[in-house]
Structure 1
């Protein structure tokens, strides 16, 4: 792999740029609220209870602009949001296995393999065989992959810091609690460990 190939990635097919399902999405499991109540669309809402349109739409527009910043960078490489998510979590957790990454992203193995193939072939992610279990493939970012992941995280971090500066630093803790409460109750402990830099395999067995 030459340096030119890494700094000037070849265009990739549109199909490889397809966005992945949102993190935490599972098509086989209905959404639940904090009490465990089924939130699937066929369940009746509370009497006279209107959707929280203000928060729903604020979340939409906040996410739209939050991902727009890295989207502009990804376009330089011919990459999409799927590549961003893979780069982000592999950079944050070197040695992540394919199974762990699938569990984080909640996507099909076929979708992940397509994106990983492109990132590996273009020199942004490397993989090695597990030591105690050779069936495992451990993923790490190459120096080029880490540089790109850090560049993407940098623009999103600046937007978050700007928002906190405008809203007030005291908002950080309640904002974190709100976002954590949006996650499925049974997933919150694992997500908290992952965010804190803990082992993604905690409670599911050791990484090989």
Structure 2
């Protein structure tokens, strides 16, 4: 499909940039479709998915750590987190050294639900990686990392290289 490599800087032309942006939109649409259906049945949305995913990847993270990672408002997180706690997906524990901290962990119910959501995306990404091959995957990672704001890249690298 896209086997032909761009010549020199032709990939920087507006039409090629628009092609890449459109592919990102379409890929995101399909990447989120299956989890969206599962989330909708539970009365949740994508914000709930992000919180579940990153609490699962960072057990014991603080509320402020999650705010920093997700770059969302305290008000947005409070609503989503409150619902996940109330429904038994996330547990909040008081910090041992700082009692003001709320340390977040997935409950067994939360772990099961997050794995269900992840499995749909894992399958889609694994198939895409297998089809594209290792060099294409490395290039894809490089492009995605370079889309991230430069000042945020180190934090993102630390997060994904756990």
- Give the TM-score normalised by structure 1: 0.69
CA shift, 1:153, in A, is 1.0
**Deviations 1:81-140 (Å, cap 9, x if unpaired)?**
010000000011100100010011111101100011110011000001111111110000
Corresponding residue to 1:121 among 80, 86, 96: 86
Runs of 4+ off more than 6 Å: none
The equivalent residue for 1:70 is 35
CA shift, 1:50, in A, is 2.6
Gaps of 5+ in 2: 1-12
Corresponding residue to 1:107 among 62, 66, 72: 72
Does the alignment pair 1:92 with 2:57? Answer: yes
CA shift, 1:150, in A, is 1.1
Gaps of 5+ in 1: 1-48, 198-208
Corresponding residue to 1:82 among 47, 57, 61: 47
Higher relative contact order (CA closer than 8 Å, sequence separation 6+) = 1
- Bigger helix share: 2
> Matches of 1:181 and 1:125 in 2, distance apart?
32
1:177 counterpart SS class? helix
The equivalent residue for 1:50 is 14
The equivalent residue for 1:152 is 117
CA RMSD, Structure 1 to Structure 2 (Å) = 1.4
> Matches of 1:160 and 1:107 in 2, distance apart?
26
The equivalent residue for 1:130 is 95
> Matches of 2:120 and 2:135 in 1, distance apart?
22
The equivalent residue for 1:176 is 141
**Deviations 1:15-58 (Å, cap 9, x if unpaired)?**
xxxxxxxxxxxxxxxxxxxxxxxxxxxxxxxxxx6361100100
**Aligned residue pairs, count:** 150
